Amino acid sequence: RILILGANGQIGSELAAALRLKFGVDNIITSDIREPRERAENEIFELVNVLDKDRVKQLFEQYQPTQVYLLAAMLSATGEQYPQKAWDLNMNGLLNVLDLAVDLGIKKVFWPSSIAVFGPHSPKVDTPQYCVMDPNSIYGISKLAGERLCEYYHKKYNLDVRSIRYPGVISWKTEPGGGTTDYAVHIYFEALRNGAYTSFLSEQTELPMLYMQDAVRGTLELMDAPADKLSIRSSYNLAGMSFTPKDISEEIQKILPSFEISYTENDPRQAIADSWPKRINDDYARKDWGWKPSFDLETMTKDMIENLKSTI
Ligand code: VAH
């Protein structure tokens, strides 16, 4: 049985769908702080606040999950508006899950980190697994601290906790909220709704990105990998593609020639994006568990527009 905490979010909701397909709907328990807008047929859903340790413990005891995915978090842009809340949710939510997983013998835990753990003095190109990491967003600080905790709990308690430093993840099923990379999601929605988009990041802002299908496949491949193959117990660098708002708008124009992009200045998210790398090196993921992305900007754009056309 698998319990997903934070199953309503952009990644949680699609991991839940993939896990239901893989293990059957009766073996997946989804949970979040509020009811989901819609549920899959026969989906088992529970309300939970990951900061309520007794309630999380109750779910662990009731469902006896062999795996727990903790996807509940506050992302970078929202985190800058509520830094104390972001720290509390991202850190104490993780600590609750790590402690309960050790106490109750959960076999495997997944926790998402982010390229936000890198900062202004990290190498911008071909950013390695190990380097200077001086994140200056509360989200990035909480993810860096979280990675250290995961590695500590693995070494001290032999907890099989696994993690990926996601780039910006792009998907069409949910309109994600609160991320700095979310311009690359909204641009597709706006391209179809209004034929135009105003980007809050400048046209040359290059960021590492990953299509949701690749993010989900990479996560399941990591979780399926033999434990003795994993040399990283903080969090794995994972790369898909890197592009700028200019690149993505030109790719959209190949399909929607009349699409127009414009740019705002001085959005607070620009400073967050400028502190992050442009291109990530993911040699460890490729070596340890055979990671390889399958979508690039062209194939992702085709897939996004095709799917959004049928939903918008
Ligand atoms: C954010 N989408 O923008 C998330 C992610 C690397 C970006 O962490 O905050």
| Residue 10, pLDDT above cutoff 90 | yes
Q: Are strands 207-211 and 241-243 parallel, antiparallel or unpaired?
A: antiparallel
Rg for the chain, CA atoms, rounded: 19
- Cα separation of 13 and 158, whole Å? 29
299 CB contacts (<8 Å, ≥6 apart)? none
The pLDDT value recorded for residue 38 is 92
pLDDT in tens, 57-104: 999 999 999 999 999 999 999 999 999 999 999 999 999 999 999 999
302 CA to centre of own chain:
22
- Cα separation of 188 and 208, whole Å? 17
The pLDDT value recorded for residue 178 is 86
| Residue 138, pLDDT above cutoff 80 | yes
In testing the pocket of ligand 1, which one of 74, 127, 142, 166 has its CB within 8 Å of the most ligand atoms?
166
| Residue 219, pLDDT above cutoff 80 | yes
Helix (H, G, I), strand (E, B) or coil at 153: helix
The pLDDT value recorded for residue 76 is 95
| Residue 176, pLDDT above cutoff 80 | no
pLDDT in tens, 36-51: 999 999 999 999 999 9
Please give the number of the atom of ligand 1 that sits closest to the Cα of 79. 9
Helix (H, G, I), strand (E, B) or coil at 226: coil
Nearest CA to ligand 1 atom 8: 114
In testing the pocket of ligand 1, which one of 11, 74, 75, 243 has its CB within 8 Å of the most ligand atoms?
75
- pLDDT, averaged across the chain: 97
Nearest CA to ligand 1 atom 5: 168
| Residue 177, pLDDT above cutoff 90 | no
pLDDT in tens, 185-206: 999 999 999 999 999 999 999 9
Band (pLDDT 50/70/90 cuts) for residue 175 is confident
Instruction: Count CB neighbours of 213 within 10 A.
Output: 19
- Cα separation of 150 and 162, whole Å? 8
- 139 given a catalytic annotation: yes
| Residue 25, pLDDT above cutoff 90 | yes
| Residue 105, pLDDT above cutoff 90 | yes
Band (pLDDT 50/70/90 cuts) for residue 174 is confident
113 Cα–ligand 1 center, Å = 9
